[in-house]
Every structure is written in C-alpha cells, then in structure tokens.
Chain A
Amino acid sequence: MTGRFCWQGVPIAVAMSIAAATAHAACPPATVDGAVVSKGELVLAYRPVANADKGAKPDRIPMAQHFALEVQLCEKGAASTARLHKADASMPEHKHGMNYRPVITSLGAGHFRVEGMMFHMAGRWELTFEVHAGKETVRLTHDVQVE
C-alpha cells in the first residue's frame, strides 16, 4: 500500500478505549484509524501519535517533528505473540535514514509503542518493521509520503 495517509480525527482517549474494548474481538479492530500491513498470517496495524510534549493527538505523520507510533500485531484475528523487534525508516531516493534511533516498548497483548521517530524531509519514506515470531524474522515495509 503506497500513498498518502489519512487519519480520522479520533481523539486518542476514544481510540484507546476502542482498542481496549476490542482486545478480545477483531484484531486489528475494524475501526483502526491507521495503516494495516500484512505478511502471511501476520497483520501489523500502526498509527502515528504526536510526541508526548505536543499533546498526543492522532494525526498524519508530521514533517520534521518527533512522533511516536502505536503498533499492534495480530494473527488470525487475535493478538499475536510475536514481538516487534525493530522499527526504522529511510528515504530510498535520498539514500539516507532518520537522524534518530527509535526505541520500542512492549505494552502487552500484541501492542507496542515506538518512540523517537522523525521524518525530517518531505518525500517518500519507507517504514520498516522487523517482527520476531518464534524463530522466524518477518520484515514488513510500508511507504509513507510526507509533505
């Protein structure tokens, strides 16, 4: 899936409660206000949230500002036991990555938070997720156009 992001303006508190309420239902929730990428059985849903000091409002990925990602891993419609091991991004056309090294925190039940991201230039960024599922490493990528 290439192309522009369009985030519904769901306030984070509401979005979080949807996520919590549907933890036992569909995974990812049908109303996920982010992007969904999959490979085989593994489904990864993510959405950007503004950096903590900017007021955590779900938004499109901001240009040249720090943001965090909320990531959810699912398998066969339920929370996955796989672990998000790495998240990173680069600009293939510019041949460079980010100036920051993001850090992942596990929030349990297939939920993760990636902190310290910044897309410091407009253009095409390729997000890369590395997921450890048992002995297997699955790489998922997703294109984001930042303006």
Chain B
Amino acid sequence: MTYRSSRSALRRLGLAAALLALSMSAAGEDAREFTAAELGRIAAHGPWPLPWTPDPGNRVSGNAAAIWLGHQLFFDRRLSANGRVACATCHDPDLGFQDGRATGRGLATGVRNTPGLLNVRHQRWFGWDGGHDNLWSASLRPILDPSEMGGSAQRTASVLRNDKALACHYGQAFGKRPHASDPELLVNVAKAIAAWQETLVSPASPFDRFRDALARQDARATVAYPVAAQRGLRLFLGRGQCATCHAGPMFTNGEFGDTGMPFFVKPNGVDPGRQGGIKRLLANPHNLLGPYNDDVTRNNATGTKFLRPEHRNFGEFKVPTLRNLPVTAPYMHNGSLATLRDVVRHYSELDEDRLHADGERILKPLKLSEEEIDDLVAFLKSLSPTIQMPVLAKPATLSACIADEPNARKPNDRQSR
C-alpha cells in the first residue's frame, strides 16, 4: 500500500509477458488467418485506451485538487471506525486494486468478491449487482457500511479538518472548508475519491497491439501476438460466444447475466444479484435521479430512468471487464473460482440446470479440450499490459496544495508520469 508498490504488480505482469514471449517464439510463424467477419469483431474490442471524458455527474471530475484529495483519502485508514481500514485495504494497487481474497474483509467479512478498479471510469453500473449508477455513490457506500469501514460524516469531517493538507485541497476543490454539519460533506468526499479513481487507466495490452496491427494491416506487427492467444481469440469470438456479453473495448457490455454461478451465501442466505441491485439503486438518495447529480440536464441518468426490472434479474450479476485479470484473482461475484483455468473450465462444463429456464440460451457447455482451455487462458492473459502500470502520483502535501492552482493539471498529466 505504498505509492511505489505498483512495481510488484508489474513484476507479476512482467512474468506474464515473459511467458507470452516464450510461447510466441515457438509458434510465431503460424499466424492465423482471420475472416473479414472476425476482423470486424476483433476491431470492435478497441481501440484502447478509450478517450477520457469528465463525469458530468461529478463537478470535481478532472479537478486537480479533488484528485489529490481523493488519492490521499483512498489510502487513509482514519476514515474507518477502528482506524485500520482504508479503501486500499481491499482495493490494493498491487493487485489491480483488488485484494486477492474470495470475499472482501474490512470490519467484517463480506459475501462478495472485491472488484479491481482499473478503468472503473468506463463502467455504467457499479457493484456486482449494479446497485449504484455512478462512481461517487459506489465510493460513499463502503465508508458508511458497518462491515467495511463503519465510518460517518462526523469522523470524515474531523479527519479533514485536522489535516492541513487535506483541508486545503478540500477547500480548493469545493470552495469551502469541511464541516460535519454539511449534508454534502460525504458526497463531496466521495466525489473527490471518484475523481482520483477515474484516473486509473491500464495501458495497452498485447491484444490491443495485435488489434491495432490488424486494423492497419501491419502483418509484421501481428506476428508478435502469440498463436495460442490467437486461437483463444477465435474461440472467444466464435464457438465460445464470449463476446456476446464480454463486448467492446472493456470486454463487457456493462449489463448483467447469469452464468450458472451458485447464488447461495453462508450460512443460509441467497444473493439476489441484479434484482436486489435495482431495489438498492432506486432507494438510494445518491442515485443519478437524486439531488446530488451535478448534471442539471439529467442526461446521464438515462439508464436509471428507463430501468425495466425483470423476473430473470434474480441471480444475474454484472458482466465483469476481462482486462487485467492475471492480477485480480480470484474470480466471479463470490470469488469462488481461483484461477482463469477454473473460470474457463466452468464455461466448458457448465451445468445447464443452473441457468435460468426463462433466460439466456446462448450459454452451452463448451466441452473444450485441454488445448482449447490453454488457448482461451492465453487469450485472457493477453488482455493485460506487459509494460509498467502507471505509477501513482505523489500524495497530497500542503505545499503542493498552496503551490497548485486548481485545475492546473489534467488527470492525464498524472498517468503519463
């Protein structure tokens, strides 16, 4: 949890790179021929990175002072009831902002797997059940959640007031000092933390370079992409039908699905998934239909406004992004699958009785051979960067705050350093 620590994530990714390079040199000459239809589908998974635009619902999105503040608070354990849990406790930068556990553990152990936060700006729904329609309300929830941080507006305001650098950045971002009596305080803090998380973008992966090389018909450059990954890609787009849900540059359509994962939780409860998420969302005063949405046009609230609850939502979970998977194990909403091989095996041996009778009929047990499983895993791994992850900027200091004009730096400045 230090600012230099993204190095070891790097080492991990570096290892993946070395392995890819190995398999590449063995079979480099055997480049696949993709059909025109396949080429179109491959192109649809890029380009990467996506253009960054400020979040219209968050007035400090892209604001330098807010980004400083949010960065500091993300690592600040003082926001929690016992002074020991920070966002970074579960969202560890070394692990793509995940924690390596099956389910998150703060003040208590939860029932869901901690999602990684790289590229989180591009999500439509937040949480495995999509219980939030914006990044700042998903960032406010854990501060108050008694099993995660168990904090309060009172506690947050006192942390801000008693830390000159934080108070200064808060003042610069919001034009006022932090006050516990301010009903907006927690929302503002969450908006600052969101502004920082929006800057977390993963660099281009071997897949992205392959995709770009195909797009510009640079046959030489395509050879660098391992043949196993190419075979995996073909499976992913074709027989596997994976891209039906894991679509676009983020490898998710941003919606929800049922993949036959069990939804029972110990001791004898169930996780209703999307069905509960829609209820939670509509009851939340911090949703985009509510007064804290900074977009006066409410154009950013389309998803929430037109939601249509369906019977099949029970047991549906968000289709996760497939970028950066090697560092974010274990997998699925309950963290029950330890490795990517386990996930691919799950799709290979799918228990059809577990799938909704009235729902999606595109998932079938794929009955993959061991080689095909290897190929799909090689492809999934190729969606992670092999170069250095962006180094996190330095934490906020008082002198930085005094020296810095608000908005003087754009978030991109930070990533390229």
Contact = CB atoms under 8 A, between A and B. Distances in A.
A101 B308 contact: yes
Contact of B306 (A63, A115, A121, A122): A115
A147 B299 contact: no
Nearest to A101: B308
A63 B43 CA distance: 14
Interface string A87-100: 00000011111111
Contacts of B297: 52-53
Contacts of B243: 122
A123 B244 contact: yes
A3 to B, nearest CB: 15
A66 B303 contact: yes
Nearest to B252: A64
B359 interface: yes
Contacts of A94: 360-362
A53 B299 contact: yes
A122 B303 contact: no
Interface string B216-252: 0000000000000000000000000001110110000
Given A53-B56, A101-B306, A121 B247 contact: yes
B361 A121 contact: no
A100 B303 contact: yes
A71 to B, nearest CB: 17
Contact of B255 (A64, A101, A103, A122): A64
A85 interface: no
A95 B358 contact: yes
Given A94-B362, A121-B253, A123-B244, A116 B306 contact: yes
A147 B237 CA distance: 12
Contacts of A100: 303, 306-308
B248 A64 contact: yes
Nearest to B57: A53
Interface string A50-61: 011100000000
Contact of A63 (B253, B300, B302, B305): B253
A102 B256 CA distance: 18
A98 B308 contact: yes
A102 B245 CA distance: 22
Interface in B254-270: 254-256
Contacts of A52: 297, 299, 302
Interface residues of B, number: 30
A132 interface: no
B247 A122 contact: yes
A120 interface: yes
Interface string B306-346: 11101010000000000000000000000000000000000
B244 A102 contact: no
B41 A147 contact: yes
A64 B249 CA distance: 12
A124 B44 CA distance: 17
B253 A147 contact: no
Q: Which of A94, A99, A101 has the most CB of B within 10 A?
A: A99
A116 B248 CA distance: 20
Given A52-B297, A63-B248, A99 B41 contact: no
Contacts of A99: 255-256, 307-308, 310
A102 B362 contact: no
Given A96-B312, A97-B310, A98-B308, 15 more contacts: A51-B302, A52-B297, A53-B56, A53-B302, A64-B253, A64-B255, A93-B361, A95-B359, A99-B256, A99-B308, A102-B306, A103-B306, A115-B302, A115-B306, A121-B244
22 contacts: A51-B302, A52-B297, A52-B302, A53-B297, A64-B255, A93-B361, A93-B362, A94-B360, A94-B361, A94-B362, A95-B361, A96-B312, A97-B310, A100-B306, A115-B306, A120-B255, A121-B245, A121-B253, A122-B243, A122-B244, A123-B244, A147-B41
